């Protein structure tokens, strides 16, 4: 048995040694991806990059699906059917091709889309978040193809759009029925195996049923005035106080391993209200961002908020008659000023997680870190779709979205080795 196992592993060992020997090709692939200018916003600029990835996958015998999520922003999904799909585990590798926006006044050393390497670090927009992860996974696929290795299990590669602006290209893949026994989102995690909390945005609207001239204000606030009217702006202050009370309650009553107390927050981000100085404000809208824990859903936390604000409104004579209205989520921060990032809990005992831990520890010869991301990725959409998943990629959050964004070439190499070993091992795991 041991002899047979070692013979299976021999091709993998040869490929792992090639990652180091051919690191210049790996870095060149990442540089090629960075040169495609795909910041979001403005977005609608990924087609050229996605066509490159589609062609790359087609050359590696993947069946490629490409469709526009928005004009100029297509998703790419490549599928390499396994030699024994019905008997062996399937895998999705997922990453987003869009990168953080770049302002004209940012002090980059040179054009952020002309990458360069210095002192073992590659610099350019998106190297950490997250074209480094895409490049490493694609290079692993290339090495498997060149070696003539066809996995027994199916391998799917997804290059999606819109993550930076909440456009959920990954959700669109799930809606089309692309699935697997396990998924890895190769996003920024500093090579930790991670789950994540979730985020949802929402609009709370306080609106009067009629309008009033500002000269009628004295009749609204004095005893015997006889006019049941109010400023929507002032009533929104009561709503905001209620949100703060709930946020403090959450900080005391809720917790999750790996997160500091109070990580679950309700941020009042934008307020809009009133129409003219001669009117009592008849409408006010508050845009909030809600962060919640991996063991919560966005449906759950929005219900809690609506219920709590309902109690606040019921204690106010005017809000009782003009209750706050709620709009949650959205499909794009650009298109409809809203977004959802579902949470993701990683099961450390799931065979996919264990295989990823094993691959990491084989390469690094040290214990893998399984924890939670302080930010959000598309990983939650897999959990939402019932696909077990984890986040695992090169780069760290201090570099993500940063001026002179950098990624260690050594970490890129090590990530590529781990993901190569994991693809190989998982693709050879029986169902």
Distance CA 218, CA 415 (A): 68
Q: By CB neighbour count within 10 A (0-12 exposed, 13-18 middle, 19+ buried), where does 113 fall?
A: middle
Tokens describing residue 349: 């005992």
Alpha carbons 67 and 47: distance in angstroms, whole number: 10
The question of whether 335 is a catalytic residue gets the answer: no
* Among 73, 129, 154, 163, the one annotated catalytic: 163
* Catalytic choice (31, 47, 73, 98): 98
The answer to whether 213 and 301 have CB atoms below 8 angstroms apart is: no
Please give the structure tokens belonging to residue 261: 């107390």
Q: Any catalytic annotation for residue 378?
A: no
Question: How many other C-beta atoms can be found within 10 angstroms of the C-beta atom of residue 15?
Answer: 19
Nearest to 75 by CA among 138, 163, 160, 156: 160
DSSP 8-class letter at 7: H
User: Cα–Cα distance between 366 and 354 in angstroms, integer?
Assistant: 14
Distance CA 173, CA 167 (A): 12
First CA to last CA distance, the chain: 20
Question: Known catalytic residues?
Answer: 98, 163
């Amino acid at each position: 048995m041991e002899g047979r196992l070692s013979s299976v592993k021999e091709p993998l060992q040869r490929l792992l040694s090639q990652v180091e020997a051919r690191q210049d090709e790996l870095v060149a692939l990442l540089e090629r991806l960075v040169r495609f200018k795909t910041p979001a916003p403005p977005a609608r600029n990924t087609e050229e990059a996605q066509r490159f990835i589609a062609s790359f996958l087609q050359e590696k015998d993947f069946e490629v699906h490409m469709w526009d999520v928005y004009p100029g922003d297509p998703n790419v999904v490549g599928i390499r059917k396994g030699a024994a799909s019905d008997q062996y585990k399937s895998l999705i590798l997922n990453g987003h091709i869009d990168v953080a926006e770049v302002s004209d006044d940012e002090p980059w050393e040179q054009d952020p889309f002309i990458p360069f390497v210095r002192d073992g670090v590659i610099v350019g927009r998106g190297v950490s978040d997250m074209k480094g992860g895409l490049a490493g996974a694609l290079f692993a696929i290339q090495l498997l193809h060149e070696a003539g290795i066809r996995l027994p299990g199916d391998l799917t590669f997804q290059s999606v759009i819109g993550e930076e602006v909440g456009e959920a290209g990954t959700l669109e893949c799930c809606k089309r029925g692309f699935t697997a026994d396990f998924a890895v989102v190769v996003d920024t995690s500093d090579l930790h195996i991670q789950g994540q909390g979730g985020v949802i945005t929402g609009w709370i609207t306080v609106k009067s049923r009629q309008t009033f001239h500002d000269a009628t204000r004295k009749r609204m606030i004095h005893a015997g005035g006889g006019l049941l009217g109010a400023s929507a702006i002032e009533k929104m202050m009561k709503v905001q106080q209620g949100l703060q009370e709930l946020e403090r309650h959450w900080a005391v009553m809720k917790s999750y391993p790996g997160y500091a107390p109070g990580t679950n927050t309700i941020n009042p981000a934008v307020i809009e209200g009133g129409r003219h100085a001669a009117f009592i404000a008849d409408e006010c809208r508050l845009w909030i961002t809600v962060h919640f824990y991996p063991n919560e859903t966005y449906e759950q936390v929005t219900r809690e908020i609506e219920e709590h604000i309902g109690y606040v409104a019921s204690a106010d004579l005017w809000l009782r008659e003009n209750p706050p209205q709620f709009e949650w989520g959205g499909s794009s921060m650009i298109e409809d000023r809203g977004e959802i990032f579902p949470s993701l809990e990683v099961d450390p005992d799931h065979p996919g997680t264990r295989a990823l831990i094993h691959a990491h520890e084989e390469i690094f010869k040290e214990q893998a870190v399984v924890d939670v991301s302080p930010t959000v990725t598309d990983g939650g959409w897999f959990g939402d779709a019932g696909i077990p998943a984890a986040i695992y990629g090169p780069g760290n959050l201090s570099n993500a979205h940063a001026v002179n964004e950098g990624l260690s070439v050594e970490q890129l190499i090590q990530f590529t080795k781990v993901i190569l070993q994991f693809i190989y091992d998982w693709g050879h795991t029986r169902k």
